[in-house]
Structure 1
Amino acid sequence: MLAWIGRNWYLAAFVACVIAAWCAPAVGASGGPLHVPGAKIGIIALIFLICGLSLPLRALSAAAGRIRVHVFVQGFSFVLIPVSFLLVDRILAVLELPLPMRNGLLLAACLPTTISTCVALTRLSGGSEAIAICNSTIGNLVGIVATPMLVLLSTGRQATIPMGDIFAQLALMVVLPLAIGQVLRLVGERWLVRGRAVFSLATSLLLLVLVYLVFCDSFAAGLRVGAASLVAIIIIVAVAYPLLLAAAFAASGRRPWNMTRAERVAASLCASHKTAVLGVPMLSIMYAGDPHLPLLCPPLLIYHFVQLFIGTALAPRLRAWVQDADVPGSGRGMVDVPG
């Protein structure tokens, strides 16, 4: 058992963080002893600062030019996932799942990819961190406009969000720390290259803290959902997310996209993720005053847990698969699946 935990320490730590948040959510939630105002924004900013410190500018520039990859990720995130969930919604309507819970699933499908989680998991999985950064930024900027439109099309709800505030928040969390990291890298690149292992560990630990804080807030607010509906949502998401991740991974290996293994890992994670850090506030704004708001958030929070758990569990295998591409005589092509 100890040997398994040693090999899979990050997965064990992730589960421990969620359990700790569930057992005593008030400790890390707003007003709790471990709560620090702006902590989540600060953690995300630190993750992107580390990305700026550890990534060469040429890698970011090259990733920015991979238009096919960006089209794949954003198309999967904003077209294929919402359409898939709309089709599933027809089945759920027949099964008489409560409408607010069904709408919660549709709203989750309309959201952009995660801001920092996809970047941290891509690094942990040996994928292209630069591709993940580009698509995290693109997705959340596009989502400011696309998400309200998709919500209107899928649920009929007229939704507006404060675009200026969200633009400013993204600039503070993503663009500014990334730029500062790049400037600092120019000053001390030789030292920063030697510290790459430290940066990788720091990113992983910061993500664990972010997971803990997000779930403390979620559990403290309470999941005001009937047991049967909650179990149904858990089953739906537990089946849907692995299928979406597998579909993204399989499709990314097709010849038109021309992706390397590292790019496929990044693209698959970014394409299948949905943000809870921005998602919950966006839903709260779009559905302010709606008595069904407490029923709209649980599907997103469950989706967030499942994507984190599966991504963390698969990370060692994906990293080994990416690294195997560099081994002479491995005999594996670009579109192989992890062995």
Structure 2
Amino acid sequence: MSVISKLKKEWFLVGMVVATVLAVFTPDLGKSGGVLHLDTITVFGIALVFFLHGLGLSPKAIMEGVSNWKLHLYVQGATFVAYPILWLVFGHTFLTYMPAALAFGFCYLFVLPSTISSSVAMTAIGKGNLPGAIFNASLSSIIGVFITPLLIQLFMGMEGAEMDLLDSVLSISKMLLLPMVLGQLMRPVLLEWTQKHKSVVNKLDKYVILLIVYSAFCDSIDHGIWSDFSPALLAVSALICLVVLMVMVHGIQWGARKVGFSHQDEVAAVFCGTKKTLAAGIPMAKVIFGHDPNLGMILLPIMLYHPIQIFYCAVLANKYAKVPLEAGEVK
């Protein structure tokens, strides 16, 4: 009974394991455009989560998030300075011991912007600075439109691709900011209702994360990354992704505490500063690399990194959630 009780208490972590295993046997159900159309469902789920977050945030809290310049500099520095430095330090080693396309895939991974949806959702789960996370995740995606092609050109000697900034801004706004604004507008009407159903509302973002985990693994299996490459190459690539994530997560965590961040700011910094976007990464790669026959290998690192980052950061978010808000460290 104690084991069953423990599993019930950690239902979110158990759910991630189940979602991962289920994806192995049912990739056609959860893949993008698959039977369940999770790519569409998760978009609506994320919009609903952000709508509810909008209901819960006071305008004062949002303004405080926007004005937190110290957090913004820290997160954007991690995304567009610390990660690219990894390529400057280890790029030659990658090119020496890996196929060139795979090595450049890690270069591409390091220069991508942060995710939006999962960064914000996990910040919410971990009781982090949600306004600051929303601002930084959105800012990273906008900056990435310019910075990612520029760094690719700098590091790989390739010409940057032209991208539609307006379309990117509109996409971010429709996915994230519009539901938040609508939530703010409906706050006087629906806030009391959300308080009455707090137990359900607080679990909704976790349900969405589970769907994202399942969909991400279904997509990776459907793209054949587990069969198109040798087991050794996959294992080494996955290990590198895991090591990079661990170094960045705990490095950002350590740095946040050294500069005196609050618990809420630390959570936002960790989840916004370590994530790399798959949703924007694949379309950008198709534009930047064109019809390169090695595109599959170039995309391998981000395809591996994405489910690893979701899984590990979800575990960390669950750990953060158990820390009292007045505490400054994760026990």
Q: TM-score, normalised to structure 1's length?
A: 0.90
Q: Secondary structure at the match of 1:113?
A: coil
Aligned residue for 2:178? 176
Cα offsets for 1:212-233 (capped at 9, x unmatched): 2233223212113232221111
* Whole-angstrom distance in 1 between the partners of 2:319 and 2:266: 14
Distance 2:279 2:198 in 1: 27
Greater CA deviation, 201-210 or 307-316? Answer: 307-316
Q: Which amino acid aligns with 1:19?
A: V
Task: Label 1:245 to 1:31 Cα distance change in 2 as closer, same or farther (>3 A).
Answer: closer
Q: CA deviation at 1:324?
A: 5.1
1:260-275 equivalence runs, <5 A = 260-275=262-277
1:83 aligns to what? 85
Q: Please identify runs of 4+ aligned residues in structure 1 that moved more than 6 A.
A: none
Shift of 1:238: 1.4
Within the candidate set 278, 300, 303, 1:301 is matched to 303
Please tell me whether the aligned partners of residues 29 and 35 of structure 1 are also in contact (alpha carbons under 8 angstroms): yes
Superposition RMSD on alpha carbons, in Å? 1.9
Within 5 Å, give how 1:75-154 maps onto structure 2.
75-94=77-96, 96-154=97-155
Matches within 5 A, 1:148-163: 148-160=149-161, 161-163=163-165
State the SS of the aligned residue for 1:34: coil
Task: Return the match for 1:48 from 47, 50, 69.
Answer: 50
Q: Is the 8 A contact 2:127 2:320 kept in 1?
A: yes
Q: Establish whether residue 15 from structure 1 lines up as the match of residue 17 from structure 2.
A: yes
* 1:246-295: CA deviation from partner (whole Å, max 9, x where unpaired): 1101111123xx42111111111111111112222222222231101111
Q: Please state how far the C-alpha of 1:237 moved relative to its aligned partner.
A: 1.2
User: 1:249 and 2:250 equivalent?
Assistant: no
Q: CA deviation at 1:39?
A: 3.2
CA spacing shift, 1:44–1:189, aligned 2, 3 Å = closer
- Judged with a 3 Å threshold, the aligned counterparts in structure 2 of structure 1 residues 42 and 287 are, in CA distance, closer, same or farther, namely farther
Q: Give the conservation status (yes or no) of the 8 Å contact 1:262–1:322.
A: no
Give the alignment partner of residue 35 of structure 1, picking from 34, 37, 42: 37
How many residue pairs match? The answer is 326
What amino acid maps onto 2:53 in structure 1?
Answer: C
Match of 2:320 in 1: 318
Structure 1: gaps spanning 5 or more residues: 326-333
Between the aligned partners of 1:29 and 1:151, the Cα distance in structure 2 is 29
**Distance in 2 between the 1:225 and 1:303 partners?**
16
Kindly tell me: are residues 189 and 20 of structure 1, through their superposed partners in 2, closer, same or farther at Cα, counting changes over 3 Å? same
For residues 141-164 of structure 1, the C-alpha deviation after alignment (integer angstroms, 9 at most, x for no partner) is: 111111111221222222323333
Q: 1:48 to 1:156 in 2, by over 3 A?
A: farther
Verify the 8 A CA contact 1:141 1:167 in the aligned structure 2: yes
User: What is the aligned partner in structure 2 of residue 330 from structure 1?
Assistant: none
- The verdict on how the C-alpha distance between 1:80 and 1:202 changes in structure 2, with shifts beyond 3 A counting, is same
Change in CA separation of 1:14 and 1:85 when aligned onto 2, cut-off 3 Å: farther
> What SS does the corresponding residue of 2:62 show, helix, strand or coil?
helix
Give the Cα separation in 2 of the matches to 1:157 and 1:40.
Answer: 34
The 8 Å contact of residues 261 and 322 in structure 1, kept in 2 or not, is answered as no
Do the aligned partners of 2:31 and 2:39 also contact (CA within 8 Å) in 1?
A: no
Q: What amino acid is the match of 1:338?
A: V
Distance 2:304 2:13 in 1: 17
- Distance in 1, matches of 2:175 and 2:104, equals 29
Paired with 1:3 and 1:97, the residues of 2 have a C-alpha distance of 46
Whether contact under 8 Å (1:86, 1:106) holds in the other structure is: no
